[in-house]
């Protein structure tokens, strides 16, 4: 069967950071192993994305087109939506190849499967969550599929959805077959985040009030063997000259010992690579911070989100302000950059918590001032996503009006602190600039 897998636009414009689409490439490898004829398209790296999509459809003439919606919007306080371009892609496919079966998936689709299938009748099937097992099985019985994990289908004018897969055995994980989509094209695209991602695990045991990771991947952590992770990194380094990687895990340094084992394997092989990923602050100590730096960590990325203990509690982080500062003290002694992400105007914000948050930012800058190894501090309002405790809280408080449409950018930012982000950004931007310019 001829199958075209398409990564639809997942960034706002050509100047934004773009990432190698490991989801569709991983899926493509499994489909090729079953004898299917594959073609891949990442619209994010094309000068004329819709023109290229048209060309591929007419040249390859696929029988099945898989479309992945990775992001519904760019986040970062932006009001742009990536949903319209997804609609255009699906409708172009249907118009040019009306007999082709369109199958949708991806993280963005998984958040709104019923809504998107209802508004896009051109989509024949969809998948919520993991699809490595279910997608190939669906292709074996397109006209009368069995009950597959994560499958979305139409019946009697309604959209039916089977519970998603959250139990794929990561010991059976097949790394993306990069020969299907050359990663070389991605190596010079970004200035902030490495474009090449590596999965070391799936699942997140935490219950942050705004987050959808547990819903999409489950709360049980499923880890790849450390040697398999480093095998993938080593192969990419030797074959394509890739030196910098981003670990895509929800939280990289849990469970305790897994990242440490990966680092020891990198060092044992004397592999000269760099990497980053989001880490949990209360899991750091002098020993593992030193090990991470020695094994090539190029950025400690943190997302504590709460700027004080009250905010951390409200957001369900199960951490305290002291945990954030202890982590900052540890990483500030290294020669590695650190980046911190915080959320502002969280539920329960008061004048007192605002002052505490400003003091925390001050302290972080003080800690990093010696080595000037603070990359930046990112301040965001919270994007309200469906099915999260924050959504329920926002509705109860009246922050969300009745009928509010969460498919499009919707942020938690009620008065009287709706301009807090700008005040804190002014403060931290001054400190950041003065630090790098060595101005007292």
Question: In terms of pLDDT, which residue wins out, 429 or 115?
Answer: 115
pLDDT digits (tens, 9 = 90+) for 139-154: 999 999 999 999 999 9
Is residue 176 domain-resident? Answer: no
Would you say residue 186 has pLDDT above 70?
Answer: yes
Statement to judge: residues 350 and 305 lie in one domain: yes
Statement to judge: residues 225 and 284 lie in one domain: yes
Statement to judge: residues 124 and 261 lie in one domain: no
Is residue 70 domain-resident? Answer: yes
pLDDT digits (tens, 9 = 90+) for 32-68: 999 999 999 999 999 999 999 999 999 999 999 999 9
Statement to judge: residues 228 and 350 lie in one domain: yes
Cβ atoms of residues 73 and 409 within 8 Å: yes
pLDDT digits (tens, 9 = 90+) for 270-325: 999 999 999 999 999 999 999 999 999 999 999 999 999 999 999 999 999 999 99
Please tell me the predicted confidence (pLDDT) of residue 440: 60
Residues 6+ apart with CB under 8 A from 12: 74, 78, 80, 82
Would you say residue 218 has pLDDT above 70?
Answer: yes
* Pairing, β 244-247 against β 222-223: unpaired
Statement to judge: residues 348 and 425 lie in one domain: yes
What percentage of residues in the chain have a pLDDT greater than 70?
A: 98
Cβ atoms of residues 10 and 73 within 8 Å: no
Would you say residue 412 has pLDDT above 80?
Answer: yes
Please tell me the predicted confidence (pLDDT) of residue 313: 97
What mean pLDDT comes out for the span 205-225? 94
Is residue 339 domain-resident? Answer: yes
User: Which of 161, 176, 210 is the endpoint of a domain?
Assistant: 161
pLDDT digits (tens, 9 = 90+) for 79-104: 999 999 999 999 999 999 999 999 99
Is residue 187 domain-resident? Answer: no
Q: What is the CATH number of the domain that holds 39?
A: 3.40.50.280
Residue 209 phi/psi, 5° resolution? -70, -15
Is residue 184 domain-resident? Answer: no
**Helix/strand/coil (H/E/C) assignment for every residue in 253-303:** CCCCCHHHHHHHHHHHCCCCCEEEEEECHHHCCHHHHHHHHHCCEEEEEEE
Give the pLDDT band (50/70/90) at residue 439.
low
Mean pLDDT rounded to a whole number for the chain? 94
Q: What is the largest CA-CA distance in the chain?
A: 70
User: Which of 141, 161, 181 is the endpoint of a domain?
Assistant: 161
* Pairing, β 201-202 against β 222-223: antiparallel
State how far Cα 85 lies from the chain centre.
Answer: 19
**What is the pTM for the complete model shown?**
0.94
State which H helix or E strand residue 31 sits in: helix 22-33
Please tell me the predicted confidence (pLDDT) of residue 75: 81
pLDDT digits (tens, 9 = 90+) for 224-251: 999 999 999 999 999 999 999 999 999 9
Give the pLDDT band (50/70/90) at residue 335.
very high
Please tell me the predicted confidence (pLDDT) of residue 417: 97
The count of structural domains within the chain is: 2
Would you say residue 431 has pLDDT above 90?
Answer: no
Would you say residue 435 has pLDDT above 90?
Answer: no
Cβ atoms of residues 365 and 374 within 8 Å: yes
User: Which of 118, 138, 161 is the endpoint of a domain?
Assistant: 161
Would you say residue 14 has pLDDT above 90?
Answer: no
Give the pLDDT band (50/70/90) at residue 429.
confident
Residue 254: which of 290, 212, 295, 288 has the closest Cα?
288
Statement to judge: residues 359 and 229 lie in one domain: yes
Would you say residue 15 has pLDDT above 60?
Answer: no
Is residue 328 domain-resident? Answer: yes
Would you say residue 381 has pLDDT above 80?
Answer: yes
Q: What is the CATH number of the domain that holds 302?
A: 3.80.30.20
Statement to judge: residues 83 and 40 lie in one domain: yes
Report the SS3 class of residue 201. strand
Statement to judge: residues 316 and 423 lie in one domain: yes
Please tell me the predicted confidence (pLDDT) of residue 432: 73
Q: Could you tell me the CA-to-CA distances from 253 to 149, 210, 306 in Å, in that order?
A: 29, 21, 19
What percentage of residues in the chain have a pLDDT greater than 90?
A: 87
Cis peptide before 255 (omega within 30 of 0): yes
Q: Give the number of C-alpha atoms closer than 13 A to the C-alpha of residue 336, restricted to the C-beta side.
A: 25
Statement to judge: residues 74 and 142 lie in one domain: yes
Domain with 48, as residue range(s), is: 2-161
Taking the CA atoms of residue 130, residue 260, residue 251 and residue 222 in that order, the dihedral angle to the nearest 10 degrees is: 30
Is residue 170 domain-resident? Answer: no
Cβ atoms of residues 112 and 407 within 8 Å: yes
DSSP assignments along 317-332, one per residue: ----HHHHHHHHHHHH
* Pairing, β 151-155 against β 158-161: antiparallel
Statement to judge: residues 146 and 44 lie in one domain: yes
Please tell me the predicted confidence (pLDDT) of residue 436: 65
What mean pLDDT comes out for the span 338-366? 96
Cβ atoms of residues 50 and 89 within 8 Å: yes
Would you say residue 107 has pLDDT above 70?
Answer: yes
Please tell me the predicted confidence (pLDDT) of residue 193: 81
Is residue 344 domain-resident? Answer: yes
Please tell me the predicted confidence (pLDDT) of residue 55: 98
Statement to judge: residues 93 and 211 lie in one domain: no
Statement to judge: residues 106 and 150 lie in one domain: yes
């Amino acid at each position: 069967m001829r199958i075209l897998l398409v990564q639809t636009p997942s960034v706002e414009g050509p100047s934004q950071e773009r990432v190698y689409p490991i989801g569709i490439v991983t899926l493509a490898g499994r489909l090729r192993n079953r004898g299917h004829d594959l073609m891949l398209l990442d619209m994010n790296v094309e000068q004329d994305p819709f023109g290229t999509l048209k060309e591929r459809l007419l040249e390859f003439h696929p029988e099945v087109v898989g479309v992945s919606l990775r992001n519904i919007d760019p986040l970062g306080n932006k009001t742009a939506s990536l949903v319209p371009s997804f609609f255009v892609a699906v409708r172009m496919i249907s118009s040019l190849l009306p007999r082709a079966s369109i199958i949708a998936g991806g993280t963005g689709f998984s958040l709104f499967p019923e809504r998107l299938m209802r508004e896009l009748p051109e989509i024949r099937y969809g998948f919520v969550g993991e699809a490595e097992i279910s997608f190939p099985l669906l292709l074996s019985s397109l006209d009368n599929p069995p009950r597959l994990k994560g499958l979305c289908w139409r019946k009697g004018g309604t959209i039916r959805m089977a519970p998603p897969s959250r139990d794929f055995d990561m010991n059976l994980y097949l790394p993306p077959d990069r020969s299907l989509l050359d990663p070389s094209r991605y190596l010079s695209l970004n200035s902030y985040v490495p474009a090449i991602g590596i999965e070391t695990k799936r699942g997140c045991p935490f219950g942050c009030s705004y987050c959808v990771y547990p819903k999409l991947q489950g709360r049980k952590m499923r880890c790849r063997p450390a040697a398999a992770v480093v095998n993938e990194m080593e192969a990419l380094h030797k074959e394509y000259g890739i030196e910098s990687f981003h670990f895509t895990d929800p939280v990289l340094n849990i469970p305790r010992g897994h990242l440490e084992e990966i680092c020891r394997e990198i060092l044992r092989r004397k592999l000269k690579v760099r990497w980053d990923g989001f880490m949990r602050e209360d899991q750091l100590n002098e020993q593992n911070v030193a090990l991470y730096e020695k094994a090539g960590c190029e950025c400690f990325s943190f997302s504590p989100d709460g700027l004080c203990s009250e905010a951390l509690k409200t957001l369900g982080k199960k951490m305290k302000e002291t945990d954030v500062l202890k982590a900052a003290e540890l990483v500030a002694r290294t020669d590695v950059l650190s980046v911190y992400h915080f959320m502002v105007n969280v539920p329960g914000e008061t004048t007192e918590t605002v002052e505490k948050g400003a003091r925390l930012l001050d302290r972080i800058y003080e800690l990093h001032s010696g080595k000037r190894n603070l990359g930046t501090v990112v301040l965001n309002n919270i994007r309200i996503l469906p099915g999260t405790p924050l959504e329920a809280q926002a509705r109860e408080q009246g922050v969300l009006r009745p009928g509010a449409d969460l498919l499009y950018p919707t942020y938690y930012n009620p008065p009287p602190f709706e301009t807090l982000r700008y005040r804190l950004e002014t403060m931290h931007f001054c400190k950041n600039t003065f630090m790098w310019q060595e101005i007292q």
